[in-house]
Amino acid sequence: MTRAEIEELLDGTTPGPWCVGPVDDCMVFAPDRSEVADITGDYNEPDLWPIMEANARLIAAAPTLARRLLAVMEENERLQGLVQDAYYEGYSAGYHTSNPQKDIAPDWLGSDARAALQKGTE
């Protein structure tokens, strides 16, 4: 999915964070306690209860996970820009590598940028 697609999905949802109900752990609620989702299944099959509860927990986590994914995508774009800038700065200074992604933190790169790049690859 693209950032735009994720943002469009989030824009059309009930604001989060969502949580699983304190009594019925197969229901998902918004912060205002309005119901977001109700996981249905055969309550006569106790073996299905853990699956239904896990589905509710995953649904409840969806807005937070999507926002964190957007933040990671944004940070990735920023770091790619740093690598690209550093590559061209190094190239114009006489340093050259055939692949700017191969040498993520070359020696001639400043320590702040090197630290940021290292953080992004951990």
| DSSP letters for 7-52 | HHHHHTS--S--EE-SS-TTEEE-TT--EEEE----TT-GGGHHHH
Domain ranges of the chain: 3-121
Q: How is residue 60 written in tokens?
A: 């409840």
| 69-114 per-position pLDDT tens digit | 999 988 888 888 888 877 777 666 665 555 555 545 555 555 666 5
Distances (CA, A) of 121 to 12, 64, 76, 117: 32, 22, 9, 6
| 1-45 per-position pLDDT tens digit | 888 989 998 998 898 899 999 888 899 999 999 999 999 888 888
Selected residue with higher pLDDT from 51 and 98: 51
